[in-house]
Structure 1
Amino acid sequence: MTALLATHRSRTIVYFICWLSLIADGYDLYVYGTTPPAIIGQEPFNATAAQAGAVGSLALVGMLIGSLVVGILTDKLGRRRILIGSVLLFSTFMLACAFAPTWELFAAARFIACFGVGGLLPTAVALANEFALPERKSLTLGIVLTGPALGTVAASLSSMLLIENYSFRPVYALGCFGFLACGLGLEIPPRVPGLPHGRRAPGDCPGNFTGLRPGPPTGGPRRLLAKPHVAPRRANCWAPGSGHAPCASGWSRCCPC
């Protein structure tokens, strides 16, 4: 009984960390779409609409770069380290956005923050999937993926409550609550509960999260993707995600705040 309780607790901790990280991810991604009224033509930046739009577009580029880099580093560093690093990166630079003295520094901090935003979602989903019980994977991932939506709602509410009286800086400062997920991320167990002793969790070692069998070195990503049995699987995983973020982010920027 004690072992079962410990196993359940370990899995629950992982689910909660992934869920909390995705709330922070959703908040940091969508918060920029709620703050242009406090930035365009307002002190201290007096940014133009064109400048604000350019920063919003650069954020998507940062997400793309972050996703690509994470895809390469995950097999080398493990998903646990990547998750903690991604949250730490975007939380730190969200705080930098809150205290940026100039528009140029604000734009640079926003761009770098989106590296972590782009890399977190696939990492958190893969980590939750690895720890989920086979018969509850769909339910577990469904619950974990409510995180970005809740983060979006939190970004909207914080803007409504804070911008009018305190401008945009406190709204960005709240984005650093992801630091809490970083601390909790250290509690992710080193192996999946139920695996034989000595086997590490897939999130703590080079993962085989594509469903492909491990083999000898492939000679780099380009040669790997060229293989006929690999390319379709990579495309099926990459295509839906690559279209989701631009569409969702673009919608948040087109809607009036």
Structure 2
Amino acid sequence: MRTLLALNWKMNKTPSEAAAWARQLKSELPGGAAELAIMAPAIDLPALAAELAGSPVAFGGQDVSAHASGAYTGETSAAMLADVGARYVVVGHSERRTYHGEVDAVVAAKARAALAQGVTPIVCVGEGLEIREQGRQVEFTLMQLRASLEDVHLERADQLVVAYEPVWAIGTGRTATAADAQELAAAIRGVLRELFPALADEIVVQYGGSVKPDNIREIVGQPDVNGALVGGASLEVASVVAMAQALL
């Protein structure tokens, strides 16, 4: 099973800053590191494409339109992402769900749009603090997952990544324990076995939420956790290199 470290820059870095960051990463990244993918603002993607050409580091978008083209001002289509060389795109991130009102049906439509253009969606699911305190985290997350994968069809395991991101642990400094991450990752794997029985054991399931160099090894060392979706700790090259080294 491969390990995927997806770096979610969120709304940070101009194109020139992104290019400089990528150059520094290439010079410092240890050989044999986990697969890396930089999830960057759309405006940064051409700069990353130029800097990362020929390197093993992938890149992708932080969102994609559910529509193929048309009068949707401000949106980025999957064809646009594919054309610039994006391999991945994040869909259903908790910030999109919270700030932009994205419901599961929209997330599923975006995942299907990405797949239609050969871009792998990183489908994000996870519970808020209230749900966690009620002990309903598994029930809620699996319901969200099923709805976010409605009518999604796969031919290969590498066409989908699922990221479990407990909302209460994103950017708060609070981190789910390795046991918490494994509990949900195993439950997610169970649903994937129902939906994609021939592929489920090879689909990457990530954990996201205040991942740092000092905790990534324990979290990703769990049987059903195959990588991490990293936010704040992805902005500095030194932090990314430390995480990559921790996974060697």
TM bin (shorter chain): under 0.3
Q: Scaled by the length of structure 2, what TM-score is found?
A: 0.23
Whose radius of gyration is greater, 1 or 2? 1
User: When you count strand as a share of all residues, which structure comes out higher?
Assistant: 2
Q: Scaled by the length of structure 1, what TM-score is found?
A: 0.22
**Relative contact order: is structure 1 or structure 2 higher (C-alpha 8 Å, sep ≥ 6)?**
1
